[in-house]
Every structure is written in C-alpha cells, then in structure tokens.
Amino acid sequence: MTVLLILRCTERLQRKLGIWPAGNAPASTTVLGDWYGNIFNTRSVRLVMFVSDRSRLSVLVAGRDFGTLAPRFQLAVVEVLKGLGIPRMAIENEQQSMRDVAFGSTRSRSVLATMSDYFKNLRWSLEVKPHFTLAEYALDLSETPVGPLNYATPGDLTRKLFSSAK
C-alpha cells in the first residue's frame, strides 16, 4: 500500500498554489489523516492554517513562498508533534508517511467550521501573545475543546492516535 498525505485546500489556497485538483483524492494513509488548508489574513500577517481531519490538530506556516508550502507544512507538523510530546520514532514514522503529497478539494464542512473557530481564536492570540512562534500558536490551539469531537482537545486526540498506532 502506498503511503500518501492529502492536503485538502480551499479554492482560495488552490489559486495561490496554482493547482486544480482533478476528481476526488483518496484519503491519507498517515496517522493524522487528511489535512485541510486555508489562508488566514490579518492586518499584520498572512498565514496558512492546516487542520487534521482526524484530531483537529492545527499547524501554521507563513503565507508566502507558496511553491515551498508542502515541505514547510511537513516541518511545522514535526515541530508541533514534538511540542505535544509525541515519541521521536512516531514522529519520524509520520514524517516518512508525509513524504508523498497529493492535493484535493475540501469535503468536510465540520473541519472547515473548526478551522473558522480557530481563526477567531488565533486573531485574538495574535493580539495578546505577539511573542509566540507559529508552533506555539498551534500548540495553544491544540488545547481548544472541539464540539464535533465530543469536546476532546486536539492535543489529547493526537496523543491517543499515536499511542494506538504502535
């Protein structure tokens, strides 16, 4: 079985990337599943937020150099997983699984709604915690209870997914 990471991008992000996914992409075979991506703008910053469909973990990357977005996303995932205390071998396995990337269109309104909630939280955090790194903002969001996931936090769900993937 081929291991594959699917980045499901909003139309706005697809335009920035210059991609137009054909048909339905298959589901990711990584522990964290498909990742949904969208652009987030404020007066001072442009970011791209990605959210895992399985755990609702988010990662953030700078909204520039869109040609290098996929590798920067992969590095951001590793940094956030380290921050969550995921074991090194599990991170290396996920990193290996994320090597081959395909793009698809969004298909879950629930994930997009979670992302919208995260944008609101992030807008506030950028104002009151301007010294945070992008990984720190993502780790902060990982403690946000998510309604569609029975109010579990993305950090806890991510740890659980990795512990059961052994």
Alpha-carbon distance of 22 to 8, in angstroms, equals 12
Q: Which pTM does this prediction carry?
A: 0.94
- Cα 53 to Cα 22, 46, 148: the distances in Å are 20, 22, 11
Which residue ranges make up each domain of the chain? 5-155
**pLDDT value, residue 157:** 97
Place of tokens 């915690």: 129
pLDDT block averages, 10 residues each, the chain of length 166: 83 92 79 96 90 97 93 97 97 94 92 96 92 96 95 97 86
Q: What is the CATH number of domain 5-155?
A: 3.30.420
